[in-house]
Structure 1
Amino acid sequence: IAIVLLGEPISWESSLQVITDLLLTDGNPLVVPVDTSVNRSHIPVIACNRDLVFKAAADLPRFGHGAFLTCLEALYKNLSGNDLIYKAFVGKPFEISFQYAEIVANKLALAKGQQKIDKIYFIGDNPDVDIVGANMYNSLLQQDVDARKSISGFDLITDPTHLTATSCQSILVCTGVYDP
């Protein structure tokens, strides 16, 4: 049993209730909640990006998945007294997402008869997520091979032989969240 959060739901209150019930009962909301008076683990939670806001048609930024996660963390902490611990984060800005993108890009390059990728260019419109993530990934690439295996969620990678890049260059564009 695990909880996988891929995006903010339409009805936050219902989703927050169900997820919190699952966390407090080790995945079985039909039983009495487990003792929360002691610091204990909960069923695994995997979540995607922590974007607090995103740009939409409205003049002001809209709440993103990060806002939903912030609410979930606060509710779980308030009800259990414990911090919500994530098994892994996927999505930007987490390195595992960049590793997966690198694997896919290398497989596509090889399928077209091209060489494996040495340098990655990552284009994004959010300095706090896209650019931070690309720069974090570049820092990881500058370390030894074992460092690449130590990131959260690496056990989700099924084919690490396609991790060949040695650098990642971030490029910020002004077409979305970022508006100088």
Structure 2
Amino acid sequence: MRACVLPRPVRGLDLFLQMAAIGARSAFGTRAIPKIASSCSRIYTTRPLAAKTTQWQRRSFQTAPPAGRIPDFAFAFDIDGVLLRSSTPIPSAHEALSYLQQQRIPFILLTNGGGKSEEERVADVAEKLKVPLDTSMFVQSHTPFAEMTDLHDKTILVAGGDGAKCASVARGYGFKNVVTPGDILVAHPEIWPFANVFREHYAPLASPLPKPIDPSNPANSLQIDAMFVYNDPRDWGLDATILMDLLLSSRGVLGTLSPKNNDRSLPNNGYLQDAQPHLYYSNPDLWWAASYHLPRLGQGGFREAFNGVWAAATQGASLDMTVMGKPYQPTYEFAERLLRKYRKTLFGSTGLNDPLRRVYMVGDNPESDIRGANGYKSPYGSEWRSCLVETGVYAGGEAPEGARPDVVSRDVGEAVKWALKDAGWQG
């Protein structure tokens, strides 16, 4: 193999990577040292840099900015396919984030993933990457739902996710009356013809319903005011059945059918004209990068399948819904508010006098990360630039119109190096 030597002078992230390798050698021996080479400014590592927990936990990223400088740029990183591949860190992810923290360059993690509380997910990601993180720099697909305080006293359906975790997340956001499809199945197994197959799974996870399903007495029957898909559904059949029941109901009362359905004298042939609960999805991703070598269907796959069921059942009636997550404007606005708030915690009022001019979005999915950054209109006047990495969903070739990045990078380390150069930062 041809030897590759880092060019001189070495600066910024290249220097940090070299120092990280030296530190790894002294602390852990040669087995933990990443092989670092430079060829066309690419970073190659054989494995993530090892680090002792006590070292990275003590590392402070609240120190003074180098030479008193305040960066006028920041980063937003996707997680799956950019920093992690399933549970495995992407090579260079630890080094890149550690360098930004050492330089006090603000960043947030902006993911279409979810299904856990922000506290649990942050702790998990921080442990895997060996970098200190907290919830002030973290946005999941369903995090913006916490702002929907007008529904906190209503009864909502929460679908998707692993077991009862999403229901717990919703309660943590302040929603007081949360019902899941599993709760309904355990209380009324007749609602789903295949209940016997899944009842043992749902029984220990179910919570009592606030009211029974009793269509003969609608005033005392379970009524749902809004429906949320918080995370990728695991049981597509059950979740789709209950969502359909509610969308065809009268005023969200389970077990009823609206008399307005298929009334061609009404708008939309009578469908969704009877105060049915609104449907919210937390993210649109058709694909996501898991441990398998090919992308796997995500929440967007369920949404497309459900749209097909709805179209067949209603002869093509329109289905009003709200889809959050990347690439949509509200999610990017929420993320930038969080990023600016976090930046203020780093620099105080000084950070307000030195405006945030540019944000680099680093992602692996052209249709969510890149399209979102390209199309985002910042209410604060910042410019968002898009960096597409080759470690996740993206499999090469030209991205579709509107989803073409400013740069394609081998991995997150290379993307950060490009952005630092683009921003004129010499650390």
The answer to whether the superposition gives a TM-score over 0.5 is yes
Q: Which stretches of structure 1, 4 residues or longer, exceed 4 Å deviation after superposition?
A: none
TM-score scaled to structure 2, two decimals?
Answer: 0.35
Match of 2:342 in 1: 108
Report the Cα distance in structure 2 between the residues aligned to 1:32 and 1:127, rounded to whole angstroms.
41
Residue by residue over 1:63-92, the C-alpha shift from the partner in whole angstroms, topping out at 9 and shown as x without a partner, is: 111110011111112112312111x32101
Which secondary structure does the structure 1 equivalent of 2:392 belong to? coil
Which secondary structure does the structure 2 equivalent of 1:70 belong to? helix
RMSD over aligned Cα atoms: 1.7
Match of 1:46 in 2: 280
Match of 1:15 in 2: 239
Match of 1:83 in 2: 318
How many residues align structurally? 156
Match of 2:369 in 1: 130
For 2:286, give the aligned amino acid.
L
CA positional deviation for 1:119 = 1.7
For 1:77, give the aligned amino acid.
A
Report the Cα distance in structure 2 between the residues aligned to 1:43 and 1:34, rounded to whole angstroms.
16
- Structure 1: give runs of 5+ residues left out of the alignment: 142-162
Match of 2:388 in 1: 172
Report the Cα distance in structure 2 between the residues aligned to 1:28 and 1:80, rounded to whole angstroms.
19
CA positional deviation for 1:118 = 2.5
Report the Cα distance in structure 1 between the residues aligned to 2:373 and 2:282, rounded to whole angstroms.
16
CA positional deviation for 1:44 = 1.2
For 1:85, give the aligned amino acid.
D
Report the Cα distance in structure 1 between the residues aligned to 2:331 and 2:363, rounded to whole angstroms.
14
CA positional deviation for 1:123 = 0.7
Report the Cα distance in structure 2 between the residues aligned to 1:34 and 1:105, rounded to whole angstroms.
48
| 1:29 maps onto 2:254 in alignment | yes
Which secondary structure does the structure 2 equivalent of 1:93 belong to? coil
Report the Cα distance in structure 2 between the residues aligned to 1:35 and 1:78, rounded to whole angstroms.
18
CA positional deviation for 1:126 = 0.7
Which is greater in Rg? 2
The higher relative CO (CA closer than 8 Å, separation ≥ 6) is in: 1
Report the Cα distance in structure 2 between the residues aligned to 1:32 and 1:94, rounded to whole angstroms.
33
Match of 1:74 in 2: 308
Quick check: 1:54–1:61 contact (8 Å CA) kept in 2? yes
Match of 2:49 in 1: none
Match of 2:166 in 1: none
Report the Cα distance in structure 2 between the residues aligned to 1:34 and 1:75, rounded to whole angstroms.
20
- Structure 2: give runs of 5+ residues left out of the alignment: 1-224, 397-427
